[in-house]
Amino acid sequence: MQDKQLFAHLLGVETPWQVERVELRLGEGEVHVYITHPRATRWRCPQCARRCRLYDHQPERRWRHLDIFQYVTIVHAEPPRCQCPEHGVLAVSLPWAEKTSRFTALFERWVIGWLGVASQSAVAEQMRISWDETHAIMERAVARGLARRSVETLPTIGIDEKAFRKGHNYLTLVYDHQGSRVLHVAEERKEASLAGFWAMLSPDQKEGIEAISMDMWEPFINSVRANVPDADSKIVFDKYHIASHLGNAVDLVRRQE
């Protein structure tokens, strides 16, 4: 297998893209991979997916890829623009990176994996990128997750507050029971603290909620009633608070008697 075929496989480059050449720069500790395509390629419009003719190319761009052995790997390409009869001249979607990113999708996925076990500063040092670049990768991952959330169902969710610092300082948390993940974090524990979460859900998603676990905090109850259809049949009070109220009631009766 020749070096161009090898790097095409390593990068996941598929037709119509192909590796034109590979440069090993030993002094800089880098591998530079140049990607191109046949001149007659017809491109899909990024908005309607219609096959369109090539309009021109943007200036050459560089993307950081996963290191190959001890060498930093840089991908080079001139992003094409297509001319769609309906949507005009648009930049073609690239299979290896997001539109505004300076890193390949595989590199970003590796960074996200590291962020699950280490701080942004530690990941930046490990991957040899800046803290700002690490943070931007994390923000893009969060944006992708929020975009997917707009179409998924959330049958069982929980609402709770978390005390922090000294005094009565709280955060409101909404979490997904089935997915074991936090969906929303807001300051304080008011009805308004949940407004941002309900705004992210479609009417169908709200209708699809089957159960909402929470304590007996009245602002949370009022917020659910105002935003979730048939809310009273879906609210599930946690056992801890029910037992606490029951214990207090029994103690009150005991003292009265």
Q: How far apart, in whole angstroms, are the C-alpha atoms of residue 229 and residue 134?
A: 41
Q: What is the pLDDT of residue 2?
A: 66
Domain ranges of the chain: 1-96, 99-149, 156-256
Q: Are 63 and 96 in contact (CB under 8 A)?
A: yes
Q: What is the mean pLDDT of residues 115-129?
A: 93
Per-residue pLDDT reduced to its tens digit, 125-141: 999 999 999 999 999 99
Percent of the chain with pLDDT over 90: 64
Write the secondary structure of 208-255 as one string of H (helix), E (strand) and C (coil).
HCCEEEECCCHHHHHHHHHHCCCHHHCEEECHHHHHHHHHHHHHHHHH
Whether 122 shows a pLDDT value over 50: the answer reads yes
Band (pLDDT 50/70/90 cuts) for residue 69 is confident
What is the C-alpha to C-alpha distance for residues 165 and 163, in angstroms, rounded to an integer? 7
Least confident of 56-65, 115-124, 166-175: 166-175
CATH code, 156-256: 3.30.420
- CB–CB of 113/127 below 8 Å? no
Does pLDDT of 180 surpass 90? no
If residue 186 lies in a helix (H) or strand (E), which one and from where to where?
A: strand 181-187
